[in-house]
Chains A and B, each alone.
Chain A
Amino acid sequence: MEKVKVGIIGSGNIGTDLLMKLMRSKTLEVTTMIGIDRHSDGLKRAKANGLKVIVNGIEGFLERPELADILFDATSAKAHVKHVEALKGTGKQLIDLTPAAIGPSVVPPVNMTDLSKESVVNMITCGGQATIPIVHAVNRVSSVNYAEIVATIASKSAGPGTRANIDEFTITTKSGIETIGGAKEGKAIIILNPAEPPIMMRDTVYCEVADREMNEEEVKQSILAMVKDVQCYVPGYRLRAEPVFDENKVTVFVEVEGAGDYLETYSGNLDIMTAAAVKVAEDIALAQYETVKEKAGRQ
């Protein structure tokens, strides 16, 4: 299949990490980086790698829309709102890594297939990407009444945006645990740990299932299968211990080591966001290809 053209809006840490991941993709061709600071390391790297560099933001892209069909938004919630507006009617698909939460939320191994035609999808939060697959894995075997997740990340990996509005993390993640993970009730907690050397991202997932519904062996197998699915796009995603069962409760300890593309390996929280976003774009590209093939077959 022909590679689908993609672009990155935002030339900060996240945008640059995306760039490095996208250059490895077999289904996506990263053609463009859109920023506002021509001296940023991200734009310099993009240029050095032969990408088209746009320094006047989304307006600049609208003059050259043929450059990309899928765009990653790695800016801020505020800027994202503007980008959604600007891209309306262009047929471009937007993958949102900001906390704006405008489009439907997506966790690749859980609900990607339903969303491949959406004009905007959002990546929830790092804690959501790391834990919702586990909640879903438990829920597909034994229905989850309550799921609670605790995400602990290195202080150094929490940017000013996260810090200024930490409530967005807890509220958005809770909602994802419920709507995508399938838990009747969700709760999310985030902890910043400043230890040096920085700690790796850790997530603890507690699920309480309905009375007498805990099938330990099946739940465990479902979790292990899900971990493998996530590992396909986040190789550093792993269980720290076997799931711990306690009557109708199961506790799962996850650790996320980053791939170390542009970001440090300890910031698995950022890596899982960029890796999941690339996975989403690849799935969209695949779905586009299938549609085209189908049409061609009918003609």
Chain B
Amino acid sequence: MNRDVYITEVALRDGSHAMAHQYSVDQVIRIAKGLNEANVPYIEVAHGDGLGGSSLQYGRSKTNELELIEAAASVCDHAKIAVLLLPGIGTVHELKEAASAGAKMVRVATHVTEADVAKQHIYMGKDLGLETVGFLMMAHMAPVEELVKQARLMESYGADIVYVVDSAGTLLPHQVTERIVALKNALRINIGFHGHNNLSLAMANSLAAMEAGATYLDGSVRCLGAGAGNTQTEVMVAVLDKLGVKTGVDPYKMMDLAEDVVAPILPKPQEIEKGSLILGYAGVYSSFLLHSERAARRYNLDIRDILVELGNRKVVGGQEDMIVDVAYELAKKKEAHI
């Protein structure tokens, strides 16, 4: 199969946030089957925070992710199963288990300035014979030169692909362009882009990334990802098709999957609400959305105040415990004013 761009479908990993990590084996099988039939090359399956993410901090998985990985792999004859691993949360131990369960790709994710914590996991990915990806999250939080330096580290550890990850859905198209161009000039390996739609820019950013030289793009069917979701896969497939870019993915089959299988399981439609909009506006990690909604209810606060304060404090991915911490402080301040 000749593809100009390789799409990774992330609904079964990033979408785990929107599903509050409640995926069942049956849902995963139906979605993975549809994606495989539509000829999507990569399907990411894991807890939203990656392998080992099931926790009180991020939310417990209803189903053990290894079962979900195994189930997805069992119905895919050409799509490859990818997993996400955040060093500090998951370990090489979980990575080995995921590889035994059928994963063929690992995406090792660190905050944009912390690539060196990924070394042992990238090594292990390669040792296990997996396609290995460096995933630089919250890419907006570092200057372009720093991003390049960190991507070079991942390349030096043996990563096959490096991604610019707009975890907060806050980058504007020209910012995506300058990042991808800089990486393209500095690295020999392939470049990817992972967007979030919090500012309604995921599609535009994905196009900007592709035009700048990215050949790996992430999408989530029906926008089933954290925050307002990612680049909507079926839309991206249609748009790229109109541009004459070969993704190898069948747009009709993607539309059917979105409509018939994914839409009915969504807890609510993936719209850009004030919570997800403010994630993009304030530059906050998209998976904070549901946790912040809960904290806003518990402490009777406006979700925007919580998220903006988290943005001010330069909180990074994984720091969900700061949400209650900040909400508690804001509530106390509010009380003091009354």
Query: Is A155 engaged at the interface, CB distance under 8 Å to the other chain?
Result: yes
When each residue 96-115 of chain A gets 1 if its CB lies under 8 Å from chain B and 0 otherwise, what string results? 00000000000000000000
Residue of A nearest to B49 (CB): A189
In the complex, the answer to whether B316 meets A164 with C-beta atoms within 8 Å is no
Interface residue from A169, A192, A241 paired with B114 (Cβ < 8 Å): A192
Please, how many angstroms separate the alpha-carbon atoms of A150 and B317 in the complex?
A: 13
**Pairs across A and B, CB under 8 Å, 13 listed:** A148-B57, A150-B318, A150-B319, A150-B321, A166-B120, A187-B55, A189-B89, A192-B88, A192-B114, A193-B111, A193-B319, A195-B313, A244-B328
In the complex, the answer to whether A166 meets B113 with C-beta atoms within 8 Å is no
Residue of A nearest to B124 (CB): A167
Query: Is A253 engaged at the interface, CB distance under 8 Å to the other chain?
Result: yes
Give chain A's interface residues, CB within 8 Å of chain B: 146, 148, 150, 152, 155, 160, 163-167, 169-171, 187, 189-195, 202, 204, 206, 208, 240-241, 244, 249, 251, 253
Task: Count chain B residues whose beta carbon lies closer than 8 angstroms to a beta carbon of A.
Answer: 29
Q: How far is the CB of B312 from chain A (nearest CB, A)?
A: 10
Q: How far is the CB of B263 from chain A (nearest CB, A)?
A: 33
In the complex with contacts A155-B113, A189-B57, A241-B325, A164-B319 CB distance below 8 A: no
In the complex, the answer to whether A189 meets B55 with C-beta atoms within 8 Å is yes
Q: How far is the CB of B65 from chain A (nearest CB, A)?
A: 14
Interface centre among B141, B313, B318 (most CB of A within 10 A): B318
Please, how many angstroms separate the alpha-carbon atoms of A146 and B56 in the complex?
A: 10
Interface residue from A166, A169, A204 paired with B57 (Cβ < 8 Å): A204
Within 8 A of A (CB), among B295-336: 313-316, 318-319, 321-322, 324-325, 328-329
Interface of A is mostly: strand
In the complex with contacts A163-B117, A241-B328, A193-B56 CB distance below 8 A: no
Please, how many angstroms separate the alpha-carbon atoms of A189 and B88 in the complex?
A: 5
Please, how many angstroms separate the alpha-carbon atoms of A67 and B329 in the complex?
A: 51
Q: How far is the CB of B78 from chain A (nearest CB, A)?
A: 33
Query: Is B26 engaged at the interface, CB distance under 8 Å to the other chain?
Result: no
Known A150-B319, A169-B88, A194-B114; further 9 A-B contacts with Cβ < 8 A: A155-B114, A166-B87, A166-B117, A167-B92, A189-B57, A189-B88, A189-B89, A191-B316, A208-B56
In the complex, the answer to whether B113 meets A171 with C-beta atoms within 8 Å is no
Please, how many angstroms separate the alpha-carbon atoms of A251 and B56 in the complex?
A: 10
Interface residue from A164, A171, A192, A240 paired with B119 (Cβ < 8 Å): A164
Q: How far is the CB of B285 from chain A (nearest CB, A)?
A: 11
Q: How far is the CB of B109 from chain A (nearest CB, A)?
A: 12
In the complex with contacts A150-B321, A165-B120, A251-B324, A190-B91 CB distance below 8 A: no
In the complex with contacts A155-B113, A155-B114, A194-B111, A170-B88 CB distance below 8 A: yes
User: B321 contacts which chain A residues (CB < 8 A)?
Assistant: 150, 152, 202, 204, 251, 253
In the complex, the answer to whether B91 meets A206 with C-beta atoms within 8 Å is no
Q: How far is the CB of B56 from chain A (nearest CB, A)?
A: 4
User: A148 contacts which chain B residues (CB < 8 A)?
Assistant: 55-57
Interface centre among A166, A190, A204 (most CB of B within 10 A): A166
Residue of B nearest to A165 (CB): B120
In the complex with contacts A170-B88, A189-B55, A164-B114 CB distance below 8 A: no
Please, how many angstroms separate the alpha-carbon atoms of A160 and B120 in the complex?
A: 13
Query: Is B116 engaged at the interface, CB distance under 8 Å to the other chain?
Result: yes
In the complex, the answer to whether A195 meets B114 with C-beta atoms within 8 Å is no
Please, how many angstroms separate the alpha-carbon atoms of A169 and B87 in the complex?
A: 10
In the complex, the answer to whether B325 meets A240 with C-beta atoms within 8 Å is yes
In the complex with contacts A194-B111, A253-B321, A163-B57 CB distance below 8 A: no
In the complex, the answer to whether B56 meets A249 with C-beta atoms within 8 Å is yes
Please, how many angstroms separate the alpha-carbon atoms of A148 and B119 in the complex?
A: 25
User: A208 contacts which chain B residues (CB < 8 A)?
Assistant: 56
Interface residue from B116, B313, B322, B325 paired with A164 (Cβ < 8 Å): B116
In the complex, the answer to whether A171 meets B313 with C-beta atoms within 8 Å is no
User: A170 contacts which chain B residues (CB < 8 A)?
Assistant: 88-89, 91
